């Protein structure tokens, strides 16, 4: 485990190195939003406080030494818990969400006490972390950022993302399990949890990824799930003005 003398250098922003508790270094992207949302939810539930540093990843701030000491992967968001001794950095949104639930959600409102339900939530988090976000990220890259429009790449990643949406539709429709679900994990219709928080920020941006209403027609339960989660005040704050530079 790194000591604070290894974590922080002169170039580290003072609001990061001198933070008393949780501090989030982020930008308002789908990955940033997942951790922003869980923090906002914990604030509404327990009054949890944290500091925020907004950076602009297009300037490569996240590749500077001060950032790499906290997150060798050079990606946002990065969470640091200065209430731990020594301060404890957490990389990867899925790990951050699980860390926050473990240490700051004493009643497991966004997690599960039942080990089978907990495992179910992990399954859907891992499914999106490894099998959804990377594909939709590539759609965004090849349709918007790539200097050359490569039809093969665009079609491959669009089709794979739609396939993944189809998996989530099977889950939420309950077509094979006897009835529709409101959320990805938990008994019965499920419970709003870490699994939804991890997945939602990406899927809510389907239009921005270039999908049409026609593309989304096969996923009525997924579209209702997007709206259901969007209705939460903490979710709206977690993607809102507070995190826009």
Taking the CA of residue 193 as centre, how many other CA atoms within 13 Å lie in the half-sphere pointing to its CB? 27
Would you report the helix, strand and coil content of the chain in percent, each value rounded to 5?
Answer: 55, 10, 40
3-class SS at 118? Answer: helix
Cβ–Cβ < 8 Å for 89, 80? yes
Structure confidence at residue 191 (pLDDT):
98
Structure confidence at residue 233 (pLDDT):
98
Structure confidence at residue 2 (pLDDT):
60
Q: How many structural domains are present in the chain?
A: 2
Give every CB contact of residue 109 below 8 A, 6+ residues apart in sequence.
45
Structure confidence at residue 145 (pLDDT):
87
Expressed as residue numbers, the domain containing 40 is: 14-107
Residue 117 tokens, joined: 């339900």
Last residue of a domain, one of 107, 130, 148: 107
Same-domain pairing of 91 and 20:
yes
Rounded CA separation 168/228 (Å): 15
Same-domain pairing of 211 and 136:
yes
* Beta pairing class for 88-90 and 78-81: antiparallel
Model-level pTM? Answer: 0.95
- Whether residue 8 lies inside any domain: the answer is no
Which residue positions in the chain have pLDDT lower than 50? none
């Amino acid at each position: 485990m790194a000591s604070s003398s290894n974590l922080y250098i002169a170039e580290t922003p003072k609001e990061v190195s001198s933070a008393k508790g949780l501090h989030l270094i982020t930008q308002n992207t789908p990955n940033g939003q997942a951790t922003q949302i869980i923090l906002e939810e914990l604030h509404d539930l327990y009054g949890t406080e944290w500091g925020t540093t907004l950076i602009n990843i297009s300037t490569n701030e996240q590749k500077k030494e001060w950032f790499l000491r906290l997150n060798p992967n050079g990606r946002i968001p990065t969470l640091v818990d200065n209430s731990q001794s020594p301060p404890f950095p957490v990389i990867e949104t899925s790990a951050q969400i699980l860390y926050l639930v473990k240490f700051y959600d004493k009643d497991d409102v966004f997690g599960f006490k039942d080990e089978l339900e907990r495992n179910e939530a992990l399954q859907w988090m891992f499914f999106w972390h490894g099998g959804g976000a990377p594909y939709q990220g590539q759609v965004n890259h090849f349709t918007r950022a790539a200097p050359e429009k490569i039809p093969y790449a665009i079609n491959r990643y669009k089709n794979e993302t739609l396939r993944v949406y189809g998996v989530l539709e099977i889950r939420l429709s309950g077509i094979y399990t006897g009835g529709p679900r409101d959320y990805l994990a938990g008994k019965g219709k499920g419970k709003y949890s870490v699994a939804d928080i991890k997945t939602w920020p990406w899927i809510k941006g389907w239009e921005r990824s270039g999908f049409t209403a026609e593309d989304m027609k096969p996923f009525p339960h997924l579209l209702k799930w997007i709206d259901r989660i969007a209705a939460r005040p903490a979710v709206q704050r977690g993607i809102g003005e507070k995190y826009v530079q």
